């Protein structure tokens, strides 16, 4: 709540107090094809003269972690509809749970790693968690505000607000807050999120020095009901009494889990030989020294008021209060050289400190000791390269671990060739190795079954992949990726429960959640993913298609994905009301073939492999009406419309977790300028 009040205050204060005077005029013409028409004039004062400068939409820039720059896009398209969700990104390869803020199951996988260091774990709870690479930086001529609102399920709403401003052309800052609360249709299914971040970037007048940084505070919490307990009698039967989903019995009503993280990030660079203007445009010679700092503190917590036998019959203490904490500090020093002919080359030396811990040392009945922490430091070196030679763009990245037990190695090389401006060939090779996430290596719980230490047993996971693709405006976008996985680490069901402290009654009850343990596959897994996207247009009609084919070759069934996934949108677009409004309306169809869908484990905050139940093979049809008025996009959607006439209640996001029923939701995205 305190972060929300800060954002609201800034939204009204800074537009009135921006240090650069500005004058905004309304658009004379605003169409889907371009928002780059003049919508204002800004008068810059200098000591010698007063010079008018025209501002367009392209002057409002967003800068990514990799320093890629894009300008503000206020158009309305089908891709904007795909991104208008809780994650604010295309969720084609994800299967959401019934409530906003709950986990997403995976319909497609990507094993390429951008880091050589393991993460804390609880992967199912991290879909909305913003990593370093997800925080954006801005460069704006006048204050810019973006508001996104969307209704949730029952009580609650979703709001994402951002304000970017500058005090001079060289200093830009942004503050943003994401707040979400949704009660959900089922009992004890409420979710909440509060994500605050603020970023800045500054460059000196002589271009000798630049700096950027951000602070992020994230709190993601959800109640856990363990799924429905009598799915055949209450959900799949379709009985009218249980169409009110709050009447369906759930596994338990006394548990919740939470991710809380705080991060401080700083990245700055001193140019010893400074470029004449902008090195990304002029490609003049640059010699610089850079430094990057990142400190993050994060914990994952699972609480349960009383013991539940679905996690095992033996506990050390009740109520349950499990908590894993990870504190990391990363420092990297780099030297950068760029030249018009040789391209950009950098070398780096990094130090990574980690401390993953629990509150107590655990000694089991057989005198086995489970440590309460893993701590240490990793030293690695790296190099990055990028060059553009005519139509050929080359890039590469290498990281090599010099000392330490957890970090691994990484190699990335990619190339793209622009045949024509609308036809591009690309290829990528990736190789990486690193330790599994910390919760695979060490975990402690008040439930006796969920205590293990594998840091001296598990090997580093290894991934090798190769990708080819063709990006064409006429033929569509086609990509094929082959991955080979060694030492694949996953959560699964222990087929030999006698090796655990599980009673015979647990086995008779069939409580799979009590048998879940971390495993490492000794055989190589081969994974192929082919994806194709193409939109066909005829007059004011369009058909947008995304198809994905997957094949897994493995000795044991430890990696399960659907063989085929498709999403097809048929829609109509037109200007209405004398071109004062632009609308898009149509239907979206999504479908994936049945497969052994991963099950969700609330205590661990993870999905685990199961081969007892096939789910999927049901359609999901959404009807939407989207509209754009100036810089405001309005979204109205009837989700899972086909459940109004289909009485087959077989749609699940994971075993015992139904997908959402028919619901109408609406919201908007609004950009305004000061």
Reported in sequence order, the residue ranges of 58-111 that DSSP labels E, i.e. its strands, are 61-63, 69-71, 94-96, 104-106
Q: What is the pLDDT of residue 102?
A: 96
Q: What is the DSSP letter of 9?
A: H
Whether the Cβ atoms of residue 492 and residue 500 lie closer than 8 Å to each other: no
pLDDT tens string 309-342: 889 888 999 899 999 999 999 999 999 999 888 9
| Residue 426 three-state SS | strand
- The pLDDT of residue 165 is above 50: yes
pLDDT at residue number 495: 75
Alpha-carbon Rg for the chain in angstroms: 26
What pLDDT band is residue 20 in, cutting at 50, 70 and 90?
A: very low
With a pLDDT cut of 70, the percent of the chain lying above it is 89
Per-residue confidence at 180, pLDDT binned at 50, 70, 90? very high
Phi, psi torsion values for 505, nearest 5 degrees: -65, -35
| β 137-139/476-486 pair status | unpaired
- C-alpha–C-alpha distance, residues 99 and 659, integer Å: 9
Residue 14 confidence (pLDDT) above 90: no
- Residue 283: the pLDDT is 59
Q: Which runs of consecutive H residues, i.e. helices, occur in 278-436?
A: 279-282
Q: How does residue 375 score in pLDDT terms, banded at 50, 70 and 90?
A: very high
According to DSSP, residue 595 is labeled B
pLDDT tens, residue by residue, 209-242: 999 999 999 999 999 999 999 999 999 998 999 9
pLDDT of res. 190: 97
Indicate the average pLDDT of the chain.
89
Q: Give the domain ranges of the chain.
A: 2-673
Mean of the pLDDT values across residues 376-388? 96
What's the token pair of residue 363? 């000694």
**Has domain 2-673 been given CATH number 3.40.50.1220?**
no
- Helix or strand or coil: residue 205? coil
3-state helix, strand, coil in the chain (%, to 5): 10, 55, 35
pLDDT of residue 31: 36
> To which H or E segment does residue 441 belong?
helix 438-441
pTM here is 0.89
pLDDT single digits (tens) 459-481: 999 999 999 999 999 999 999 99
- Residue 48 pLDDT > 90: no
Angle CA(551)–CA(556)–CA(558) in degrees, nearest 5? 70
C-alpha–C-alpha distance, residues 656 and 101, integer Å? 18
Question: What pLDDT is attached to residue 674?
Answer: 80
Q: What is the pLDDT of residues 240-290, one digit of tens each?
A: 999 999 999 999 999 999 999 999 999 999 999 866 654 444 457 889 999
pLDDT at 418: 96
Distance CA 528, CA 545 (A): 20
Over residues 44-66, the mean pLDDT reads 71
Band the pLDDT of 458: cuts 50, 70, 90. Answer: very high
Residue 502: pLDDT band with limits 50, 70, 90: very low
Residue range 570-613, pLDDT digits in tens: 999 999 999 999 999 999 999 999 999 999 999 999 999 999 99
Contact 606, 119 (CB under 8 A): no
DSSP assignments along 138-192, one per residue: EE-SS-EEEEEEEE-SSSEEEEEEEEEEEEETTEEEEEEEEEEEE--SSTT--EE
Residues of the chain with pLDDT > 90, as a percent, come to 79
């Amino acid at each position: 709540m305190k972060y929300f009040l800060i954002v609201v205050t800034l939204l009204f204060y800074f537009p009135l107090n921006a240090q650069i005077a500005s004058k905004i005029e309304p658009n004379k013409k605003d169409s889907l094809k371009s928002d780059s028409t003049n919508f204002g004039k800004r008068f810059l004062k200098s000591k010698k003269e007063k010079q008018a400068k025209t501002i367009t939409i392209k002057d409002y820039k967003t800068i990514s972690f990799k320093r890629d720059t894009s300008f503000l896009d206020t158009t309305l398209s089908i891709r904007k509809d795909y991104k208008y969700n809780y994650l604010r990104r295309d969720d084609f390869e994800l299967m959401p749970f019934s409530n906003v803020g709950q986990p997403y199951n995976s319909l497609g996988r990507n094993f390429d790693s951008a880091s050589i260091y393991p993460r804390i774990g609880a992967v199912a709870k991290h879909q909305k968690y913003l990593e370093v690479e997800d925080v954006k930086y801005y460069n704006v001529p006048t204050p810019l505000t973006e508001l996104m609102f969307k209704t949730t399920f029952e009580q609650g709403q979703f709001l994402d607000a951002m304000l970017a401003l500058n005090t001079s052309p060289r200093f830009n800052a942004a503050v943003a807050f994401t707040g979400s609360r949704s009660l959900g249709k089922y009992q004890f299914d409420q979710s909440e999120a509060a994500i605050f971040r603020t970023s800045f970037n500054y460059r000196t007048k002589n271009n000798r020095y630049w700096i950027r940084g951000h602070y992020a505070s994230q709190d993601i919490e959800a109640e856990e009901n363990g799924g429905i307990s009598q799915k055949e009698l209450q959900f799949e039967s379709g009985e009218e009494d249980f169409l009110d989903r709050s009447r369906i019995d759930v596994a338990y009503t006394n548990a919740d889990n939470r991710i809380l993280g705080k991060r401080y990030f700083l990245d700055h660079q001193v140019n010893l030989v400074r470029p004449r203007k902008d090195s990304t445009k002029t490609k003049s010679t640059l010699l610089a020294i850079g430094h990057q700092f990142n400190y993050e503190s994060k914990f994952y917590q699972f609480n349960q008021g009383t013991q539940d036998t679905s996690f095992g019959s033996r506990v050390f203490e009740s109520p349950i209060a499990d908590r894993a904490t990870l504190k990391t500090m990363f420092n990297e020093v780099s030297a950068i050289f760029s030249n018009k002919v040789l391209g950009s080359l950098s070398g780096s030396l990094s130090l990574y400190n980690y401390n993953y811990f629990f509150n107590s040392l655990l000694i089991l009945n057989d005198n086995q000791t489970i440590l309460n922490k893993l701590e240490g430091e990793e030293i690695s070196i790296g190099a990055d390269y990028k060059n553009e030679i005519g139509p050929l763009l080359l890039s590469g990245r290498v990281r090599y671990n010099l000392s330490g037990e957890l970090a691994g190695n990484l190699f990335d090389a990619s190339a793209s060739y622009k045949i024509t401006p609308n036809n591009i060939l690309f290829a990528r090779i990736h190789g990486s190795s690193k330790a599994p996430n910390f919760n695979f290596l060490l975990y402690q719980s008040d439930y006796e079954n969920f205590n293990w230490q594998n840091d001296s047993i598990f090997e580093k996971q290894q991934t090798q992949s190769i990708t080819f693709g063709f990006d064409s405006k006429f033929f569509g976008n086609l990509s094929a990726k082959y991955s080979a996985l060694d030492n694949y680490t996953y959560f699964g069901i222990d087929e030999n429960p006698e090796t655990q402290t599980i009673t015979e009654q647990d086995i008779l009850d069939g409580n799979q959640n009590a048998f879940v343990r971390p495993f490492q596959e000794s055989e190589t897994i081969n994974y192929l993913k082919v994806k194709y996207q193409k939109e066909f247009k005829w007059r004011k009609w369009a058909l947008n298609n995304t198809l994905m084919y997957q094949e897994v070759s493995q000795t044991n069934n430890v990696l399960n994905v659907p063989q085929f996934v498709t999403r097809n949108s048929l829609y109509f677009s037109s200007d209405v009301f004398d071109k004062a409004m632009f609308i898009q309306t149509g239907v979206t169809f999504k479908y994936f073939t049945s497969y052994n869908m991963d099950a969700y484990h609330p205590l661990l905050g993870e999905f685990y492999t199961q081969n007892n139940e096939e789910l999927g093979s049901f359609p999901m049809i959404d009807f939407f009406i989207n509209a754009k008025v100036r810089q405001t996009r309005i979204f109205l959607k009837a989700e899972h419309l086909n459940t109004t006439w289909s009485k087959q209640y077989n749609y699940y996001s994971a075993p015992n977790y139904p997908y959402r029923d028919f619901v109408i939701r609406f919201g908007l995205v609004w950009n305004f300028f000061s």
